[in-house]
Every structure is written in structure tokens, then in C-alpha cells.
Amino acid sequence: MEEFGSDRSPLPRNMIENSMFEEEPDVVDLANDSPSYPIDSPSYPIDSDDVVYEPRSSRLLVRGLGENDLDEDEEDYESSARLLGMSFMNRSSNQRSPASSYTRQQTPGSCSMPSARTMVVGVLILVLVASMAMVIYFLPGCTFTKSGCKKANSPMEKIYPISTSGELFPWTELRLPASVQPVQYNISLHPNLTSMTFQGNVSILVEVLQETKKIVLHSSDMNITKATFDSKDVKILEYKPWQQIAIKFTEDLQKGKYVLNFVYKANLSSRYDGFYISSYADTNGTKRVLAATQFEPLAARKAFPCFDEPAFKSTFLIRMTREPEYTSLSNMPKAKTTDLKNGLLEDEFEKSVKMSSYLVAFVVAEFSSVSKNVSKSTVSVYAVPDKKEQMHYALDTACKLLEFYNTFFDSDYPLSKLDLVAIPDFLAGAMENWGLITFRETTLLVGDHSSPIDKQLVTSVIAHELAHQWFGNLVTMRWWNDLWLNEGFATYMQYMSVETVFPELNMDSEFLSVRFKAFAKDVLNSSHPVSAIVNTPEQVEEMFDSVSYEKGASILLMLSSALTKEEFQKGLIEYLQTYKFANTESDNLWNSLTQVSKQPFNVAQMMNTWTIQKGFPLVTVKRNGTQVTLTQEHFLLNADNVTNDSLWHIPLTYVNDSCLNCTQVFHLRNKTATLKLPDQVKWLKFNYMSDGFYIVHYDEEGWRALIEALKADFKVLTHKDKASLINNVFALSRLGKVSFRQVLNLLDYIKNETETAPLTEALFQLGQIFRLLDKRSELNLASRMSSYIKDHFGSLMENQSWEQESSVSKMTLRAALLDMACSLDIANCSQKATLLFNNWLNLNKSSGIPSDLMTTVFKVAARTEDGWGVLLDTYKNSIYVPEKRKALVALASTQDVRKIIWILQRTLDGSMIPTPEFPLVVHTICKNFAGYLYAWDFVKENWDKIIQKFPIGSFAIQSLITSTTSHFSTKTHLMETQNFFNSLGERGSQMRVVQEAIETIKMNMRWIERNLETLQKWL
């Protein structure tokens, strides 16, 4: 449910590159009784000295304390802060001038009154001095110079920034000039994994396309010791804020090719971008190190000076110096290895195809691998030797999907090798570097015995990254404003390809929740168009969000349904053929599809209404006999003071009771339109299978007819249609279009329901409301919601089997049902889970817990002192990646405050749990009442440390902010959130996600205001 900061938006399961850390179903955990334990207990794994962090606000803001009874007029920041013990109060008071409160005080009679004459003269002198000062101030600086000022009508001169050396930097924009472009890079690197530094030498063959006196390119955090241009030494100017370097020439460079060369040194990065170092412990506990890269979007410039924009495609030849025990990998196959006779070897890789700098990659590590040939390419999977057994599934899957894409795109993967590498310490979910895809271990490694639900995640991520080898790598967006061309497409293809190649994994239903997740983000006024204006590095980072990935994929699904599947595929093939090794904008794609389409509408005109305006439409359906009136408006929560004339071209689909399989299409282009039905019908359901990106509202009679039809026979609609009705009715109640009573009316049929999609959607929505009430300390209502869930889902929960299961759909359903049941302590769930956990322990942790129930079982076990200890041990020692991940979620779900703080500290500093898991840990903690305020305080207190590890605007930061603030629903928390982010200045106050967080809190407040009474009455 969106405005509660749905669990969907902070960590969308499908936002592959960024978010493969979310794991559990969206359910609540009501286990409020934290186990007490003796601090000095030897069995307790946490040393009491370890827990030094004491968040201030949370200590006061416990149930029933702290946030009530504020008089609105009297309430100001300070008083709220005092009430909350707000941690940032000190920061703000430090900034206040110590004298400020005394400025109006004056000692009476401390000086005598001057005479009137003295005062008049004094005032005159003051006026004169002030006038002269103003004249001098406002005169241009050129007035008193030899050359004088230019004429008034001359164009405004650019203001050049000052470079590090003090000279003027010759470029004034964030985007590089187009006059010079790279043709080929020769890059030699020598990383030293002991000193954590590297040396580089890069030669760039550049082509001057227009005569110019300067070359500007990117470079960041490196010490360039020598630079030459066509073998002559040149001076480098650097402007650090924009990560640019420049060479100035006295004469115009003529068109033609030249060679730039840089010799430089730099530190290996410690924050997961650029060329970074990471470490892990092997099964013997020995510390191992490796170096790897993560360049997208803006970090290739940290590894070598380069023209670091996606449109500057070039070829790359890479050489890597290494010690003999390490393996090195890069985008291309190894061409040769030279013994440097000093104990070091140098690997040289083949010259690459033409590609963007953000896709360059290299890894130096001690890895094992398995390989297979597909078509003309060798596919290999690499991982640390301890996890060699968990690589086979990924290898088989990658081979099958590569074959599928080769055929589907009618163009073979162009490289002779494709490596998939599991990096033990990796921030993104995965990264599609051409020929060298990097993954988290959790998104690539899975045992052969693992269940299909664990395999679903790995398959889905591989499918996404492989799709990028065409969409993103072969054809690339010109600039980051069209990131959705990469991400929306890869997300769409990931569901489409897995559904085709592995139908047993039930990805089609997963794709349905992708649309719901995209709605959740796009209802906000602070959302953005799919194709948005992007300039600063922070704005580039922020494009990696639900709109680019999930809304992008959703509007492509709508388009592919409006065209035929064959036309859609043909259009894609045409697009890839036309633009291979080049860059594109959205219009290029629409034109390719228009060329092959035989439909009576213009693809570009239709799709522009979906990509260049934010949000999505609400379609209202009013029926009078056979006449149906359709109206569209922008579905916008918090729409105060917003006048909106957005209009979409909607390919509306519908079915009715007389023919369930005859889908009709109506193109709604205007604000309103009338549709004439051929015959009388009992009911109409619009947005068939929820393939379109819009929400539908019916008149009273329309809703009544649908609800009655469902009550009479719940199979009358498809599972997707039922799930979308449930999703839509909750959204409409938040908008105030339907009452909560009507929501419950629709849900009345659910006791008969057996299908996964509608049941999990209903559970998700109810769970969100439960969590909001719980955190508002509306205990009576929360308990009534719990009873409602028990009443409507109890018998289904009781009837779930705890044995091994093979159907993914059944596993998804029971995982959601039982996780909710154990959280609410109903249906004997906790007892059964405990039994299973003990059994698993007795079997030496070797078997006994079905994989889909493992998180639920672990979470119940984590409630006890011993259980938590066992799980910590499992997390530290297990080599089975999915099991490790579930243990971590269980550890973070604890209700014990000390453990919560301990785990936050250990994850942020990376000492026990890798720092990339920090967003997952915070997200899990924030689900529960016990920890969400502590997590919020921890994030505030450690903000500077956090932004050193994760870039401002990045997905990790977006996730942290959403997780910590999305359950706030009081004015006090709203102000606290606003004040904290305002105080950040350049350290993050401008992020879009901050606006989203504020808007979400306001929506929660409004929802509570509107619905508390209704809930009291009807729940």
C-alpha cells in the first residue's frame, strides 16, 4: 500500500542491479516481547561494551509517549525536538550565534545622547559613504581597467571555474564538449593488493571533430604524474567539483587524430565503486583480498582518465599486471600473458568492441570457474573456491537464456566469451559489464538442491543482466535521462524470457507485482517522468529507481499488448539492427516500432504520453445500460494545490460476463469518451490481466456487480484481474474515492479464494495498514486488524503444509501466509516453526526446513536467546548463500534493542556483516515496532559515515531514507524528518527521495485522519 511507504518501494524485488537484498514476504512481525538476557551471560554473543550507541529520541519515544498532545500553534521545532530528545538538536543549536539572544539588550544610560546637529551631519556622511559604496559595488569590474567594458549588447561572458592550480579552467559545463571524442583506449594497470594502491598508464587515441583549443575529459581521485599530447609534455588543469581535467592549447587543434597519454597513481577505492578492493574470509577463516570494478554510472573516471559519458563509445585494450596466485578477468578474452621477470605477470586482453566507458570492467582475485560453450561463445561462472559447488545452476541457466536471446533478438551475442562473476563484497545486485557480468554472491550462487524459489531469484537476475548485453551494451541510451531504455527494457525482458524458458518459475505473477510496485512510487507528486532531465551526478544516481526499472517495464508490457507480440519483437530486432554499437533516445525506439506496426495508432504519440509526463491515469467507468462513459484524470495522492491537465493515450482493455476470453480494446485519448456495448452485460472489468499501467474506478453499480460476481463464483475472473481489483480498491480508498467499508466489501469474497496473486496482494495491503496502526500505537485497532486477518485467512493458514513443496506458486502463497501467521502468533504457527527449527538443529542443520519457509522459521527462532545465537553462528559459518541471507534477515528481525543496535553497528562498519547489507538490515529492522525509531536515529547520527560508503542519491541511500521514514504518520515526525534533511545542505537535502519521504508522511497523516473513525466502526 503505497502511502505507507510500501515495502515494495524501498527495496523492489525486481530492481535487479540495486536491490537483490530484499527477501521476505511483505508481512508484519508482532513479536513484541523482547527476550531479556543477562548482559554478562557467556553464551550471549554480544559483548555489552560493544553496544555503545544510545539513540536519544527512541529512548523517549516509546509506545504512548512523546508524540501526542502537541498544540499545533505552540509546536515548533525546538519543542518537538525536546519532546523527542532529538539527536540533531545539538547540531542546530551549535550553529546559533552565542550572542544572538543578547543583541537587543543595551545597558541603560551607558552613553549620552548626541546633539541634533551632530546627528544630522553624521547621517549625511553615512548616506554619502553608502551611496559611493553602492556605485562602486554595482559597477562592473572592467570599469577601471585598460581595456574598459564591452558594449552593453555583447553576449554575456561565461564564468570559468578556477582549477586546482589557480588558473581558469577552460570549460563551464557538467557535460563534456563534443568537439573531441575518444577512438581507442590502451590501459595498463598494476594493482597492489597489499598497499591498496594501483598504478596506471592510459593512452587515448582521440579524434578532433571541430577545431578547438582545449580537450576536456573526466578524472577523479587520482594523481597524474605525467601527461603528454602527441608525445609532448602538457600541463593538466583539474576542476575537482566536476571531476574534470583539461588541456589548454595556444593554437586551434586541427581536425584529425592525436594520442593523449597519462601516467598516474591512485588508491584502490574502499567504497564499492571505481577500482575497489574488498576482502572476505575463506572457510579456514583466512582473510583474502580481491580487486574489482563498479563503474556505472560515473566511476570509470576513478580508474582511468576518460570521456566518461555513455555516448563516447570507444574500443578498449586492457593490460593487467598481477601476482601469479591471482586470476585477472576483463570484458574480453585473454590474448596473452607475459612474464615480467620480477615475480609478476602481465595479462593482455583482446581489443574490445565499441562500447561506453561505464561498461568496462576488470577483476583480480583468487577464483574457481566452470565453463560451457553456447553458439560461438564460452560461458563461465566464477566464484571463490569454497563456493564452487554452487556455480552449476547459474552456468546452465545463463547458457539457456543466452540461446534464447540469440534467437529472440535475431542477432548473436557479439563476444566470444561471457563471464558471470560472484563478488563476495559487492554493493549493487549485479552489473552488466559487457562480457564480464558481476553479481553479489546472493544473486548468482545457489546449491543444486536449492528450491525453485531460491532459483527464481538467481534466474531472474541472470535474465536481466543478459538482456542488457543487447539493451544497454549493444545499443545504449545517449544520456542518463533515458536510463529507462536500459533498465525498463532489461526488466521487461527478464520476466518475459524467464516465463518463456522456465515457465515453472511462475515469473508472470511476479511481473504483476512489478506493476503494483511502480504504482506505489508514481502516485507521489514528487515522482518524475520516465524520461527526465538529468544534470548533476546526484540526479544521475537518482535515476536508478522504481520509475526507470518498474514503470519502464510496465509501460513496455502495455505497449507489447497493444501491438501484437510478433510486431513488438520485430520492432525490437529492427531497433537493435539499426542502432547497434550506437546510442539512442526514446524516439528512436518508437520509430522502429512504428515502422513494423500495422495498428491504427501512432506508437510515438501514444508512448510519449507515458514517458514525458509523470504519474499515471485513473480511469473512471460509469455505465448506463449499454452506454459506458469513460473519464481519465491524473491519479495523484496529496494533490493539494496541483492543477493538472495531464492526458494519456490509454489502450483500454475490458472483458464482461458474456465472454471472458473476448478482450476488447478501446483507445481513450481524450479526457472523456463514450463506449457503446453491443449487448447488455452484468459486469465489466477493465484493464484485463492488469496489463495496462492505470487504475480503474467503477460507479457504485459497477463495483457491486463485480463483487457479487466474485461472491457467486470466485473463479469468474483471472487471478491477475482479482489481484488488480484488490490493489486498485485500496489505492482508491486512499484517494478518498471509495470508503474503507467498500474495501472490506470486496475482501468478503477472499475466504473462498485459493489463488496466490489475489491472496498475497490482500495480505500485503492489510499488513501495511496493520503496521501503520501498530506504529501509531493504535493498539486496539491493530489487534482488531489482527483478528480480521485471522478470521479471513486463518483456515488457509492452518491448512498449509510444512513439508517440501515443488510448485513455486504454492510456495509463494504459503510463505506469505505463514510469515503473517507467525508474526501475529496465530494458527499455531510459532509452535510448528519452533519444531521445525529444532529438528533442523538435530539434523546438524543439514535439512528439514523447506527453503520457502526458512525465513519464517528462522525469524521465530531468533526470538529466543539461544536461537539468535545459533543463527548468528549460521550466518558466520554457512557457505550456502541463500541460507546465509535468510539467517541475516532473521537476525535483523529481533525485537531486542541491544541486538538491533549491535547489528546496525556491525553492518555499517563491515566488521561482521558486509556493509552492502546495511540497507537490507535497516529495512528489516524498520518493519518492527521495536527497532524502527532506533534505526532512524542511527541513520541520522551516522549520516556522514553512510554517505562516505554509499553515494548521495544512490539506490542504497534511497532505500535507507524510505525504510526509516515511511511509517511515520505524525506531525512531530514530519517536522523531525524535514528538519533533519534541511540541515544536511549539500550532504543530501536536494535528493528527490527526501521529497518523497515528506510526501509519504503527509499521506500517512491524512489517511489516519480520514480513516480512524471508519476503522473503529467497521473493522
Catalytic residues: 465
- In the complex, minimum distance from the CB of residue 493 to Zn ion, in angstroms, rounded to a whole number: 10
Q: What CA–CA distance (Å, rounded) separates 730 from 462?
A: 34
Q: What CA–CA distance (Å, rounded) separates 451 from 807?
A: 10
Beta strand 212-218 pairing with 244-253 = antiparallel
Q: Which of 296, 273, 305 is nearest to 187 (CA)?
A: 305
Q: Is 201 helix (H, G, I), strand (E, B) or coil?
A: strand
Residue 17 or 755 having the CB closest to Zn ion? 17
Q: What CA–CA distance (Å, rounded) separates 616 from 724?
A: 15
Residue 17 or 541 having the CB closest to Zn ion? 17
Q: Which residue is closest to Zn ion by CB? A: 490
Residue 18 or 905 having the CB closest to Zn ion? 18
The whole-angstrom distance between residue 829's C-alpha and the CA centroid of its chain comes to: 33
| C-beta of residue 545 within 8 angstroms of C-beta of residue 530 | no
Q: Which of 277, 227, 232, 281 is nearest to 253 (CA)?
A: 232
Residue 296 or 999 having the CB closest to Zn ion? 296
- In the complex, minimum distance from the CB of residue 753 to Zn ion, in angstroms, rounded to a whole number: 34
Q: Name, in order, each residue with C-beta under 8 angstroms of 987's C-beta and a sequence gap of 6 or more.
A: 943, 944, 947, 952
- In the complex, minimum distance from the CB of residue 494 to Zn ion, in angstroms, rounded to a whole number: 8
Q: Which of 544, 302, 290, 328 is nearest to 425 (CA)?
A: 290
Identify whether 297 is preceded by a cis peptide bond (ω within 30 of 0): yes
Q: What CA–CA distance (Å, rounded) separates 922 from 767?
A: 19
- In the complex, minimum distance from the CB of residue 822 to Zn ion, in angstroms, rounded to a whole number: 34
As a whole number of Å, the end-to-end CA separation of the chain is 18
Q: Measured at the alpha carbon of residue 149, what is the angle toward residues 144 and 154, in degrees to the nearest 5?
A: 165
Residue 7 or 17 having the CB closest to Zn ion? 17
- In the complex, minimum distance from the CB of residue 487 to Zn ion, in angstroms, rounded to a whole number: 5
99-118 residues labelled b (16+ CB within 10 A) or e (exposed): eeeeeeeeeeeeeeeeeeee
Residue 17 or 896 having the CB closest to Zn ion? 17
- In the complex, minimum distance from the CB of residue 969 to Zn ion, in angstroms, rounded to a whole number: 34
The whole-angstrom distance between residue 27's C-alpha and the CA centroid of its chain comes to: 20
Residue 359 or 689 having the CB closest to Zn ion? 359
Q: Measured at the alpha carbon of residue 861, what is the angle toward residues 856 and 864, in degrees to the nearest 5?
A: 145
Distances 176 to 173, 806, 1016 between C-alpha atoms, Å: 7, 54, 60
Residue 954 or 964 having the CB closest to Zn ion? 954
| C-beta of residue 247 within 8 angstroms of C-beta of residue 277 | no
Residue 545 or 896 having the CB closest to Zn ion? 545
- DSSP structure class, residue 1013: H
- 61 dihedral zone (left: phi>0; alpha: psi -120 to 50; beta): beta
- In the complex, minimum distance from the CB of residue 17 to Zn ion, in angstroms, rounded to a whole number: 5
- In the complex, minimum distance from the CB of residue 407 to Zn ion, in angstroms, rounded to a whole number: 21
* C-alpha cell recorded at residue 541: 544516481
| C-beta of residue 945 within 8 angstroms of C-beta of residue 910 | no
| C-beta of residue 301 within 8 angstroms of C-beta of residue 218 | yes
Residue whose entry in the numeric block shows the C-alpha cell 496541483: 642
- In the complex, minimum distance from the CB of residue 432 to Zn ion, in angstroms, rounded to a whole number: 6
* C-alpha cell recorded at residue 98: 552565542
Distances 189 to 28, 195, 198, 279, 294 between C-alpha atoms, Å: 50, 15, 7, 20, 16
Q: What CA–CA distance (Å, rounded) separates 1006 from 935?
A: 24
- In the complex, minimum distance from the CB of residue 889 to Zn ion, in angstroms, rounded to a whole number: 24
Please provide the size of the chain in residues: 1019
Beta strand 327-330 pairing with 334-339 = unpaired
Distances 61 to 508, 926, 980, 1005 between C-alpha atoms, Å: 43, 15, 17, 18
In sequence order, what are the beta bridge partners of 228? Answer: 233, 261
Residue 490 or 957 having the CB closest to Zn ion? 490
- DSSP structure class, residue 549: I
Residue 471 or 968 having the CB closest to Zn ion? 471
Residue 359 or 746 having the CB closest to Zn ion? 359
Count other C-beta atoms under 10 Å from residue 647's C-beta: 16
- In the complex, minimum distance from the CB of residue 917 to Zn ion, in angstroms, rounded to a whole number: 20
Count of alpha carbons within 13 Å of 835, Cβ hemisphere only?
8
Binding site for Zn ion (CB under 5 A): 17, 487, 490
Residue 22 or 755 having the CB closest to Zn ion? 22
In sequence order, what are the beta bridge partners of 365? Answer: 327
- In the complex, minimum distance from the CB of residue 821 to Zn ion, in angstroms, rounded to a whole number: 35
| C-beta of residue 371 within 8 angstroms of C-beta of residue 378 | yes
Count of alpha carbons within 13 Å of 98, Cβ hemisphere only?
0
Helix (H) or strand (E) holding 339: strand 334-339
- In the complex, minimum distance from the CB of residue 338 to Zn ion, in angstroms, rounded to a whole number: 36
